Structures are given as C-alpha cells and as structure tokens.
Structure 1
Amino acid sequence: MLLRLPTSVSEARQCLAEGAVPIGGATLVWAIWQRDGFPELAVSLREVPEANLVEREAVGAAVLLSRIDERVPDVLRLAAATVGTGAVRRTATVGGNLVGSTLRCLLPAALVLDARAKVLDSHGVHETDLAEVVAKRPVLLSLHWRTPVASAYRKLPADTGGPPPLVVASALHADDGGGSGLRVAVRDGYDVLSGTATVDDGAGQTLQALRGTALGDLPAAAWEVVGPQVTALLEEPAGN
C-alpha cells in the first residue's frame, strides 16, 4: 500500500481523483484491511493545515482526539475524552470517528453545537450539514460552529461487549434576537436523536417542549439523564 501525505487541499484533491482511500487514524480500517486486503493507494490529511485546526469555533478532521482541549466547547472536549482508551485517543481522529465509526461518539456533541462540515472530494471543498456527513460518509475536512453560551455532556458506563452506552449532549445558544435556544442530542444504542427548544419559562417548560421533538421517542431511562442535565444547564448558563 502506498500512503500519500498531501500538504495542501489541492494535493489532497488530486489524491482522491487518483482513487486514494482516506485512512484517517486507521484505528477502524486497519483490522478490516488485514482481513480483506490493503488498498493500493491511501491518503491521510494529517499534513493538511485545514484538517488540523483546533480553535474556539473549529476543529479539523485529522485532529487526534487526544489533542481536543479547552479551546473547544466543553461538550466536544468531554465527548472526545471519553472515546476508548488513552492509546485509542492518541491515534483516532475526528474524521474517523464521525465518518468511519458506527458509534460516532462525537456526533451528539457536534449536533448540539449545530456544527457545519467542510468536506472534500475530487471537485473541491464544499460546506454541508451533519446529516450528509452521516448518510454519505464524505471525506471530512473540518467542523465549524458558533460558540454556545454553555454546554454539557454525559456518557453512562457500559459493559464491555454490550450495547453502546447512552450519551446525552446539550448546548445552550443565544439567538440574534436576544433569546435562547437549547439543543439536545442523545445516542440510544446506535441511534442518535436530537431536538431543539426555545428557552422561555424555565427547565420544566423547556423539557416539555423537547418531548414534542424526536426526543419524545426516547425510553424513560434516557429521560432520567436528559432531565437533570437540561435543568443544570439552564440554571447555570456559564462557561461553554
């Protein structure tokens, strides 16, 4: 297998046009390739500057999960910190987790940040939403968002080899009119559900509004986590 390491977006585009297979951090594809055979040509974005951003409102797809720190909102930092082991986080990338993984541990955090994705193909770079990232699995270049007023994240413990642990992520956003909106996303099994509510009359009314979204289909056990998280977030909207 020949691995290309482009240093610019244009070089990465050329690699894709030549049929190179994106490799990410290789934590997910390596075992598959060992079983099924390695591609002739692969490409990594780890030398492309646009894929290595770690900023207040952006993170690159080639960023290792271990590099995600206080520069990004709490919800994304905490989500990255709970993925696998320390060894996994020192190898796994943002793009690999969101595009290559069935668990997509970062997806709830990205959803509540209302993140937009920049993706790369042989024709160039374009911006899209997370729904397209999940459905079409493009080559992710970076994620971008607006800093929330506050955010929170919780992953419940789970037995090894059992179903994926429940994940609840939430973020409070200020809108242009001076009001506030709350976004909540929950991973229940392999499904990720999300909902948005306007914050007007406290936690009780907000939770009731969220039950009217796709989150209303969640089991009672999930709401036992969602309720306290939303309440705490609305009572102390400080930090990020």
Structure 2
Amino acid sequence: MQLRQPTTVTEAQECLAQGAVPVGGATLVWATWQRDGFPELAMSLRGLPEATAVEPESLGAAVVLHRIDDRVPEVLRRAAGSVGTGAVRRAATVGGNLAGSSLRCLLPAALVLDARATVLGPDRPYETDLAEVMAKRHLLLGLRWRTPVASGYRKQPAEAGGPPPLVVATAVHADGDGRHRLRVAVRDGYDVLSESAGCDAGADETLDALERTDIGALPDGARDMVREQVTDILGPLAGR
C-alpha cells in the first residue's frame, strides 16, 4: 500500500482523483484490510494545515483524539476523552470517528455546538451540515462552531464490547439579543437525536419544553439523564 500525505487541498484533490482511500488512524479499518486486502493507494490528511487545527472555534479532521484539550469547549473535550483507551485516542482521528464509525462518539458534542463541517468536494472545499456528512460520507476537513456560554457531557459507564453507552451532551448558546438557547443531543444505542429549547426561564420550563420534543419519547433512564444534565448546566447560569 502506498500512502500519500498531501500538504495542500489541491494535492488532496489530486489524490482523490487517483482513487486514494482516505484514512485517519486506521483504527476502524485495519482488521478489514488484513482480512480483505490493503488498498493500493491511501491518503492521510495529517500534513494538511486545514485538517490539523485545534482552536477555540475549530477542529481539524486529522487531529487525533488525545490532542483535543481545553482549547475547545468542554463538551467536545470530554467526548474525545471518553473514547476507547489511551492507545486508541492516540491513533483515532476526529474525521474517522465522525465519518467512519458507527458509534460516532463525537457527534452529540458536535451537534450541541451547532457545528458546521468543511468537506472536500470534487472541485473545492465547501461548508455543509453534519447530517450531510453522516449521510454521504464526505471527506471531512474540519469542524467550526461558535463558542457556547456553557457546555457539558455525560456518558454512562459501559463494558468493552457491549452495547453503546448512553450519552447526553448539552450546550447553551447566546443570540444577538442576549437570549439563551439550550441544545441537547442524546445517543441512545446507535441513534442520535438533537433538540433545543429556550432556557432563560430556568431548568424546569426548559425541561417541560424538551419533553414536548422527541426527547420526551426516550426511555425513562435516558430522560432522567437528560434532566440531570440540563439541571447541572443551567443551575450556574441562573440570574445571569
């Protein structure tokens, strides 16, 4: 297998045109390649500046999970820190987790940040939403978002090899008029849903509003975890 490491977007497009298979840390595909055979040409984005940024409002797709630190919002840092083992986090990338994994451990965090994705199209990079990235498996270059007022993340303990653990991610955003809105994302099994509600009236009214969305149809255990997380994140913001 020949591995290319483009350093510009133009070089990355040329690699794709030549049939290069994009790889991140290869943590999800290595066993398949060993069984079915390795591709003739592969491509890593770790030499591409657009794909390696770690900034307060952006994160590159080629960033390995253990590099995600307090430069990014808490919800994203904690989501990355909960993935697998230390060895996995030193190899697995943001792009591989979001676009190549059925677990998509970073997806709830990205959704509550209202993140937008930059992907590499056949002619140029362009920005799109996460739903399109998930549906079409685009080549992800990175994520961008606005810094939230506050964020949080909770993941149930789970045994290795068992079903995906329940995850609740939250973030509070302020609009131009000073009003606040809470975004909540829940991973229940392999499904991820995201809802939002105004939150200036306090936790009780916010939870009542969320109960009228699809979150109200979640199992009792998941709804309890949502209530706990919403109360935790809104409590310190009361009176601001």
Please indicate the TM-score interval, normalised by the length of the shorter structure. Answer: over 0.9
- Contact 1:75 / 1:171 at 8 angstroms: preserved in 2? yes
1:143-222 to structure 2, matched below 5 A, reads 143-222=143-222
Tell me, yes or no, if structure 1 residue 2 matches structure 2 residue 2: yes
SS at match of 2:38: coil
Structure 1, unaligned stretches of length 5 or more? none
Whichever residue aligns with residue 99 of structure 2, its letter is V
- C-alpha distance in structure 1 between counterparts of 2:6 and 2:134, whole Å: 25
**Residues 18-62 of structure 1: CA deviation (Å, up to 9, x unaligned):** 111101110001111111111111100000000000000000000
Give the SS at the match of 1:6: coil
Displacement of 1:122 in angstroms is 2.5
- Pairing of 1:29-178 with structure 2 (within 5 A): 29-178=29-178
Which secondary structure does the structure 2 equivalent of 1:119 belong to?
strand
How many Å apart are 1:237 and its aligned residue? 3.5
CA distance in 2, matches of 1:8, 1:37: 29
Matched AA of 1:58 = S
- How many equivalent pairs are there? 238
- 1:88 Cα offset (Å): 0.3
Question: Which amino acid in structure 1 is aligned with residue 200 of structure 2?
Answer: D
User: Which blocks of at least 5 consecutive residues in structure 2 are unaligned?
Assistant: none
Q: CA RMSD in A?
A: 1.0
Correspondence for 1:233: 233
In the alignment, the residues of structure 2 paired with residue 58 and residue 85 of structure 1 have an alpha-carbon distance, to the nearest angstrom, of 24
SS in 2 for 1:236: helix
Contact 1:120 1:140 in 2 (8 A): yes
CA deviation after TM superposition for structure 1 residue 69, in Å: 0.2
Q: Is the 8 A contact 1:109 1:185 kept in 2?
A: yes
Q: Secondary structure at the match of 2:223?
A: helix
Displacement, 1:164? 0.4
For residues 109-163 of structure 1, give each alpha carbon's deviation from its aligned partner in whole angstroms, at most 9, with x where no partner exists. 0000000000013321010000001111110000000000000001100122221
Between the aligned partners of 2:153 and 2:204, the Cα distance in structure 1 is: 20
Mapped contact 1:26–1:92 kept (Cα < 8 A): yes
Hey, what's the Cα distance between the residues in 2 that align with 1:13 and 1:165? 37
Segments of 4+ moved more than 2 angstroms: none
Which shifted more, 14-23 or 70-79? 14-23
Matched residue SS, 2:162? coil
